[in-house]
Structure 1
Amino acid sequence: MSGRTHARVCPERTCVGCRERAAKSDLLRIVVIEGECVPDDRGTLPGRGAYVHPALVCFDLAVRRRAFPRAFRAQGPLDTAAARRYVEQAAP
């Protein structure tokens, strides 16, 4: 045996809400477009992204901790209504 593993490595990201690491595919990417946090479920929108679990608990924690403005390096508060609606619909 060569000592190499054949397991595929999946990219990991940190949830800005609960600060836990998870597979990139398990998290929802959020981007800022004109001062508004927009969900990027396909991961193709340009710009800096912040990742959060698609659960209201993590999303509310991120909003309360002001994690989105910090992650996007933005001045002032951001509108998170569109992202919240998406998370509410996606949550079981």
Structure 2
Amino acid sequence: MEPVRTCVGCRARAPRATLTRVVAFDTQLVVDERAAMPGRGAWVHATHECVDAAIRRRAFGRALRVSSPLDTLSLQNHFQRNG
């Protein structure tokens, strides 16, 4: 049975293989390509809608339990290049 995670953007449950893991490195959001970086991770669909919804709702900060503002520029650039 495949692990299931919840997208922080649309709040839908999906198989882990269909979601992208994002971690906080200092105050910057980084895409964890191999899903192996240490620390808490937030899972999101690789769509502009889900990423934008998560940023707008500040869901990454809550999911990652980070109280300081997070830099989302590199995350947005990653999904614009790849999506």
What TM-score, normalized to structure 1? 0.86
- Structure 1 residue ranges, 4+ long, deviating more than 3 angstroms after superposition: none
User: Which structure 1 residue ranges, 5 or more long, are not aligned?
Assistant: 1-8
* 2:63 matched residue in structure 1: 71
Which whole-Å deviations, capped at 9, do the CAs of 1:37-75 have from their partners, x for residues lacking one?
Answer: 000011111110000000111000000011011111111
Please say if residues 19 and 45 of structure 2, whose CA atoms lie closer than 8 Å, have aligned partners that are also in contact. yes
Larger radius of gyration: 1
Deviation at 1:77, TM superposition (A): 1.6
Percent of aligned pairs with the same residue? 46
Tell me, in whole angstroms, the C-alpha distance in 1 between the residues paired with 2:34 and 2:78: 13
User: Aligned partners of 1:31 and 1:49: how far apart in 2?
Assistant: 5
Unaligned runs of 5+ residues in structure 2 are: none
Q: Report the aligned-residue RMSD.
A: 0.8
Q: Which residue of 1 aligns with 2:22?
A: 30
Q: What's the counterpart of residue 4 of structure 1?
A: none
Which whole-Å CA distance do the structure 2 matches of 1:87 and 1:23 have between them? 19
| Post-superposition offset of 1:76 | 2.8
Q: What is the CA–CA distance in structure 2 between the aligned matches of 1:52 and 1:46, rounded to whole Å?
A: 17
- 2:52 corresponding residue in structure 1: 60
Task: Return the alpha-carbon distance in structure 2 between the equivalents of residues 24 and 90 of structure 1.
Answer: 19
Distance 1:87 1:36 in 2: 15
Q: What is the SS of the residue equivalent to 1:59?
A: helix
